[in-house]
């Protein structure tokens, strides 16, 4: 009876099913005035929440609407972060984490250990680069997303995690137990490439301690008789502009780094310092790829614009804008583009994508294109397998 | 969101299957703020400050929309003048969040094409498509791929390019003009192979080969909705399609053109019906006064409730023909008023291309003893969908419920 009564009322009011082919929401009130955008939005919001075949969680619908609204601006960097994402994001923008101190890459069998940080818990417990993590706390890693594996290794400071690794030339899996601790990520690594006078220096991101780590590494390479330098910013997502500028000041003096143009028309120019140049003529190759973005592109682009370096690799990401994160009172936040920047030559490197987000154009184009061979996967910086590095070495030898 | 700056960073390298897949759709990198946060003195009540950041009050959707659009207009790098674009964007977001292949948002251009097809005017290859959501693989991890549906042909417009080329309802589209139509199946296969390799049941180089294959395909790929758009729009030019039919690939080359489908066409005494606006009057005019009539309801993938109502009214006497039930426990009778005075009976030809309103029509008439179904089994999706048009010409479909005969409780 209840069902029938309910349905009858619906039929009387003509709510379901609609007796017209298309429900037109014209954005006008019954008396013909045009509705305010917020009212139009509410009308559709209610239609979906009331009429959809399944129950709809209104908070989820509201956040989806905000995500869609921001996506409609067509800027991949302007996004709505729901409370949970917002929290994760703010955690990751602080540079220290609780973990075991290692860097991983995807691997068919789980995750490959690429770097083990000196003096970190993993290093003390005996984890080695080249190990493949096959299980974490006895849970198999094969087929899992790298982020999921990373998430399971992370945890509360002081707790322990059991990592099972497969090591080349060792028959049985090895169990390694690490105590999680606060890790300050080393952002610069480097060495003199064996048998040559080529310095290889990789910059993982442009964070606060990076300039100091960069200088220290340059000292070390210089002391070992470096005659040419390869700076690797592949996979470097960017970071602080200030840091990129300081690092550029080691190579070029009082030169424009970027011009930033914001909404309110103000143009801000950032230039390198004077009196900080250490290497005015040292041959430099910068290695970049599509994962090099933001401050990485400024670093590489400025050196390219002043003909101070040869760019080798693939095109870079094409991030030419500045974002701000605005927290909202329900713990969600908004990340939106507030300014654009231009390299000294004034060129536009902004990334263009098609509707599916697939790259079409943009980014810094390398002077010498080099692809990464299939075997180099996962590990950068090995002259035996890293074909982009091999190309960079070939070019720098020609300049030395 | 994909971020790449964990302490234990994911040095994702081009060529890795995972990086290729993850990097594709959601490509957003971590942006360490490159400038200091600007002050938000006049930011409005939605923006958190020291005083209210602990306040977890739920903000109603209307206010949320209003304040968010103000915030965007004030802070975004480019001026924002078009409110309709913001509204359409938010609707797109809401409709997508339903993750329902029957509820789809379409921009103004696609919506026009969609509406024309509902009037029997097809473009492109002359076919209707449906999206098939992937079955969630056991033990699969959440990733952007796991929700990508397959694109399949739901119905073919008679006489159109697809019909002439031999494409069939049920064909699953694998590639369009050499672009792989992205789907989850290959990734699932890849995962399965990973497990085998781990258990030493397959050699590791098979995995390398497959990863390379995945990478190659991703380089030239297309999302399903975009592939659909390419297939249903345009009246000239050629298109190459590869479909899977009964597990085997079939390659078809065809020329796009327009195809007109009549609401009712009588061929050898059979009434070939396309559920579209005007189908009711067309049937009423041409049906005999008594006897047994043969109806062909194949190639009817989609029709709205108004069309269903007019068709039912033309075919059946007044009465109730089952209910439309939704998953919120709400049911609504499907009723005919001022129906036929006489009582025709029908033989209805159906198959897998009979779905939605057409399927409801066939089932409802059969349930009442007015029709006998023959041919094959129906699609198994007797759902009714509402079509909503927005002021800027875009629109969406909204799944409302599914047919249920009255007898069942």
Does residue B117 carry a pLDDT above 50? yes
Q: In this predicted structure, what is the pLDDT of residue B12? A: 23
Verify that A149 and A278 share a domain, yes or no. no
Does residue B276 carry a pLDDT above 90? yes
- A&B contacts, CB < 8 Å: 419
Q: Is B178 on the interface with A (CB under 8 A)?
A: no
Tens digits of residue pLDDT in A253-274: 999 999 988 877 778 888 999 9
A223-245: average pLDDT:
91
Which residues from chain A sit within 8 angstroms of residue B198, using beta carbons? 109, 134, 140, 142
Q: Which of B11, B76, B214 to mutate to test the interface with A (most CBs of A within 10 A)?
A: B11
Verify that A197 and A132 share a domain, yes or no. no
Does residue A175 carry a pLDDT above 60? yes
Which residues from chain B sit within 8 angstroms of residue A241, using beta carbons? 34-35
Name the band, by pLDDT with cuts 50, 70 and 90, for residue B57.
low
Verify that A175 and A282 share a domain, yes or no. no
Q: Is residue A3 part of a domain?
A: no
The beta-carbon neighbor of B71 closest among A77, A109, A334 is: A334
Exposed, middle or buried, B203 (CB in 10 Å: 0-12/13-18/19+)?
exposed
Q: In this predicted structure, what is the pLDDT of residue A16? A: 35
Verify that A363 and A392 share a domain, yes or no. yes
Does residue A91 carry a pLDDT above 70? no
Q: Specify the higher pLDDT residue, B217 or B331.
A: B331
Q: In this predicted structure, what is the pLDDT of residue B134? A: 74
CATH number of the domain within which A137 lies: 2.30.42.10
Q: In this predicted structure, what is the pLDDT of residue B18? A: 27
Q: In angstroms, what CA-CA distances link A258 with A40, B107, B213?
A: 42, 37, 40
Domain count of the fold of chain A: 2
Does residue B409 carry a pLDDT above 50? no
Number of neighbouring beta carbons within 10 Å of residue B163: 18
B344-369: average pLDDT:
95
Name the band, by pLDDT with cuts 50, 70 and 90, for residue B223.
confident
Does residue B346 carry a pLDDT above 90? yes
Q: Is residue A52 part of a domain?
A: no
Nearest CA to A186 out of A265, A95, A270 is that of: A95
Name the band, by pLDDT with cuts 50, 70 and 90, for residue B138.
very low
DSSP state, A313?
A: E
Q: Is residue A68 part of a domain?
A: no
Q: Specify the higher pLDDT residue, A5 or B225.
A: B225
Q: In this predicted structure, what is the pLDDT of residue A104? A: 83
Verify that A177 and A205 share a domain, yes or no. no
Verify that A123 and A233 share a domain, yes or no. no
Does residue B171 carry a pLDDT above 70? yes
Q: Specify the higher pLDDT residue, A358 or B64.
A: B64
Between CA A188 and CA B315 the distance in angstroms is 77
Q: In this predicted structure, what is the pLDDT of residue B114? A: 93
Verify that A236 and A375 share a domain, yes or no. yes
Which residues from chain A sit within 8 angstroms of residue B182, using beta carbons? 356
Name the band, by pLDDT with cuts 50, 70 and 90, for residue A89.
low
Tell me the nearest-neighbour CA distance from A396 into chain B, angstroms. Answer: 23
Residues 131-170 of B with CB under 8 A from A: 139, 141-143
Does residue B86 carry a pLDDT above 90? yes
CATH number of the domain within which A218 lies: 3.90.226.10
| Contact between B93 and A68 using a beta-carbon 8 Å cutoff | yes
Which residues from chain A sit within 8 angstroms of residue B85, using beta carbons? 72
A130-138: average pLDDT:
89
Nearest CA to B193 out of B10, B12, B13, B17 is that of: B17
Q: Which of A184, A202, A219 is the last residue of a domain?
A: A184
Q: In this predicted structure, what is the pLDDT of residue B14? A: 22
Tell me the nearest-neighbour CA distance from B268 into chain A, angstroms. Answer: 31
A142-152: average pLDDT:
79
Q: In angstroms, what CA-CA distances link B102 with B30, B98, B105, B224, B402?
A: 34, 10, 10, 14, 12
Verify that A300 and A330 share a domain, yes or no. yes
Which residues from chain B sit within 8 angstroms of residue A114, using beta carbons? 11
| Contact between B71 and A326 using a beta-carbon 8 Å cutoff | yes
Which residues from chain A sit within 8 angstroms of residue B385, using beta carbons? none
Q: Is residue A254 part of a domain?
A: yes
Q: In this predicted structure, what is the pLDDT of residue B44? A: 57
Q: In this predicted structure, what is the pLDDT of residue A12? A: 31
Tell me the nearest-neighbour CA distance from A171 into chain B, angstroms. Answer: 13
The beta-carbon neighbor of A114 closest among B11, B72, B98 is: B11
Q: Is residue A211 part of a domain?
A: yes
Between CA B330 and CA A9 the distance in angstroms is 12
Number of neighbouring beta carbons within 10 Å of residue A184: 15
Q: Is residue A283 part of a domain?
A: yes
Verify that A201 and A271 share a domain, yes or no. yes
Q: Percent of chain B scored above 90 by pLDDT? A: 60
Q: Which of A184, A201, A227 is the last residue of a domain?
A: A184
**Coil, strand or helix at B218:** helix
Between CA B261 and CA A46 the distance in angstroms is 36
Nearest CA to A349 out of A323, A319, A322, A369 is that of: A319
Q: In this predicted structure, what is the pLDDT of residue B225? A: 87
Q: In this predicted structure, what is the pLDDT of residue B290? A: 87
Which residues from chain B sit within 8 angstroms of residue A55, using beta carbons? 327-328
Q: Which of A161, A184, A207 is the last residue of a domain?
A: A184
Mean pLDDT is highest, among A3-12, A24-33, A289-298, for: A289-298
B208-220: average pLDDT:
80
Mean residue pLDDT of chain A comes to: 84
Q: Is B405 on the interface with A (CB under 8 A)?
A: no
Contact B91, A49 (CB under 8 A): no
Q: Which domains does chain B have, with CATH numbers?
A: 43-80 (no CATH), 124-259 (2.30.42.10), 261-404 (3.90.226.10)
Verify that A176 and A302 share a domain, yes or no. no
The beta-carbon neighbor of A42 closest among B7, B62, B212 is: B62
Number of neighbouring beta carbons within 10 Å of residue B100: 19
Q: In this predicted structure, what is the pLDDT of residue A351? A: 85
Scanning every residue of chain A, which has its alpha carbon at the shortest distance from the alpha carbon of B142?
A: A145
Does residue A194 carry a pLDDT above 80? no
Q: Which of A83, A101, A143 to mutate to test the interface with B (most CBs of B within 10 A)?
A: A143
B332-352: average pLDDT:
91
Of the given ranges (A179-193, B229-243, B244-258), which has the lowest mean pLDDT? Answer: A179-193
| Contact between A55 and B195 using a beta-carbon 8 Å cutoff | no
Verify that A204 and A250 share a domain, yes or no. yes
Q: Specify the higher pLDDT residue, A152 or A374.
A: A152
Q: Which residues contact A300 (CB under 8 A, 6 or more apart)?
A: A233, A286, A288, A292, A309, A311, A316, A364
Provide the ipTM: 0.82
Mean residue pLDDT of chain B comes to: 82
Scanning every residue of chain A, which has its alpha carbon at the shortest distance from the alpha carbon of B197?
A: A109
* Domain membership of residue A210 as a residue range: 188-399
Q: Is residue A119 part of a domain?
A: yes
The beta-carbon neighbor of B332 closest among A10, A106, A183 is: A10
Backbone angles phi, psi at B110, to 5 degrees: -65, -35
Q: Is residue A70 part of a domain?
A: no
The beta-carbon neighbor of B12 closest among A70, A291, A295 is: A291
Verify that A153 and A207 share a domain, yes or no. no
Q: In this predicted structure, what is the pLDDT of residue B36? A: 33
Scanning every residue of chain A, which has its alpha carbon at the shortest distance from the alpha carbon of B227?
A: A356
| Contact between A377 and B15 using a beta-carbon 8 Å cutoff | yes
Of the given ranges (A79-88, A107-116, B50-59), which has the lowest mean pLDDT? Answer: B50-59
Tens digits of residue pLDDT in A281-310: 999 999 999 889 889 999 999 999 999 999
Mean pLDDT is highest, among A12-21, A164-173, A215-224, for: A215-224
């Amino acid at each position: 009876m209840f069902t029938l009564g309910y349905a009858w009322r619906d039929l009387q009011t003509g709510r379901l099913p609609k007796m017209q082919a298309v429900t037109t929401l014209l954005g006008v009130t019954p008396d013909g005035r045009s509705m305010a955008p917020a009212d139009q939005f509410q009308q559709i919001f209610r239609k979906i929440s009331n009429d959809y075949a399944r129950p709809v969680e209104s908070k989820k619908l509201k956040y989806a609407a905000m995500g869609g609204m921001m996506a409609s601006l067509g800027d991949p960097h302007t996004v709505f972060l729901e409370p949970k994402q917002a929290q994760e994001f703010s955690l990751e923008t602080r540079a220290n984490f609780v973990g075991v101190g290692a860097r991983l890459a995807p691997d068919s069998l789980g995750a490959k250990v690429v770097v083990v940080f000196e003096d970190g818990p993993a290093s003390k417990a005996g984890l080695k680069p080249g190990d493949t993590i096959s299980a974490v706390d006895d849970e198999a890693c094969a087929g899992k997303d790298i982020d999921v594996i990373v998430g399971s290794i992370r945890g509360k400071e002081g707790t322990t995690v059991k990592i099972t690794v497969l090591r080349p030339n060792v028959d049985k899996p090895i169990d390694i137990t690490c105590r999680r601790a606060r890790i300050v990520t080393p952002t610069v690594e480097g060495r003199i490439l064996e048998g040559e006078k080529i310095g290889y220096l990789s910059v993982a991101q442009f964070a606060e301690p990076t300039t100091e780590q960069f200088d220290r590494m340059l000292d070390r390479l210089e002391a070992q008789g470096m005659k040419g330098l390869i700076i690797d910013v592949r996979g470097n997502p960017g970071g602080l502009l200030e840091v990129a500028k300081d690092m550029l000041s080691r190579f070029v003096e009082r030169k424009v780094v970027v011009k930033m143009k914001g909404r309110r028309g103000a143009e801000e120019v950032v230039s390198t310092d004077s009196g900080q140049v250490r290497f005015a003529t040292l041959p430099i190759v910068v290695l970049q790829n599509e994962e090099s973005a933001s401050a990485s592109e400024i670093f590489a682009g400025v050196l390219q614009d002043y003909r101070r370096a040869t760019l080798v690799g693939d095109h870079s990401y094409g991030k030419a804008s500045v974002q701000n994160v605005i927290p909202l009172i329900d713990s969600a936040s908004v990340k939106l583009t507030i300014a654009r920047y231009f390299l000294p030559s004034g060129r536009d490197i902004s990334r263009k994508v098609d509707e599916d987000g697939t790259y079409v154009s943009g980014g810094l184009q390398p002077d010498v294109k080099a692809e990464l061979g299939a075997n180099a996967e996962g590990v950068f910086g090995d002259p035996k397998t890293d074909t982009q590095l091999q190309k960079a070495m070939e070019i720098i030898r020609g300049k030395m | 969101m994909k971020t790449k700056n964990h302490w234990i960073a994911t040095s994702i390298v081009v060529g890795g299957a995972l990086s290729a897949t993850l990097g594709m759709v959601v490509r957003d990198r971590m942006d360490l703020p490159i400038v200091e946060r600007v002050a938000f003195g006049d930011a409005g009540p939605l923006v958190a400050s020291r005083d209210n950041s602990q306040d977890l009050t739920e903000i109603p959707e209307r206010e949320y929309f209003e304040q968010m659009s103000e915030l965007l207009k004030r802070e975004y790098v480019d001026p924002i003048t078009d409110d309709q674009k913001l509204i359409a964007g938010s609707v797109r977001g809401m409709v997508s969040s339903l993750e329902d292949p029957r509820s789809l948002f379409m921009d103004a251009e696609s919506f026009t094409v969609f509406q024309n097809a509902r009037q029997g005017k097809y473009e492109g290859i002359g076919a209707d498509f449906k999206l098939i959501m992937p079955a969630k693989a056991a033990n699969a991890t959440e990733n952007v791929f796991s929700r990508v549906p397959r694109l399949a042909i739901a119905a073919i417009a008679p006489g159109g390019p697809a019909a002439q080329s031999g494409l069939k309802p049920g064909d699953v589209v694998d590639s369009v003009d050499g672009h792989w139509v992205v789907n989850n199946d290959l990734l699932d296969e890849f995962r399965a192979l990973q497990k085998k390799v781990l258990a030493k049941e397959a050699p590791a180089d098979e995995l390398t080969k497959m990863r390379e294959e995945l990478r190659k395909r991703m380089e030239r790929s297309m999302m399903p909705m975009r592939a659909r758009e390419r297939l249903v729009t345009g009246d000239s030019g050629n298109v190459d399609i590869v479909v899977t039919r009964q597990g085997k690939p079939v390659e078809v080359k065809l020329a796009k053109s327009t195809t007109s489908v009549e609401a009712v066409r009588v061929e050898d005494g059979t009434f070939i019906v396309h559920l579209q606006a005007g189908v009711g009057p067309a049937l009423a005019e041409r049906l005999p006064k008594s006897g047994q009539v043969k109806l062909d309801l194949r190639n009817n993938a989609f029709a709205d409730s108004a069309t269903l109502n007019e068709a039912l009214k033309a075919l059946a006497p007044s009465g109730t023909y089952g209910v439309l039930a939704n998953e919120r426990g709400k049911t609504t009778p499907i009723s005919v008023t001022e129906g036929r005075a006489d009582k025709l009976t029908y033989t209805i030809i159906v198959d897998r291309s009979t779905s939605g309103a057409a399927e409801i029509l066939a089932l409802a008439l059969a349930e009442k003893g007015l029709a006998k179904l023959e041919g094959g089994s129906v699609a198994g999706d007797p759902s009714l969908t509402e079509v909503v048009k927005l002021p800027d010409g875009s629109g969406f479909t909204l799944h409302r419920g599914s047919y249920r005969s009255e007898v069942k409780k």
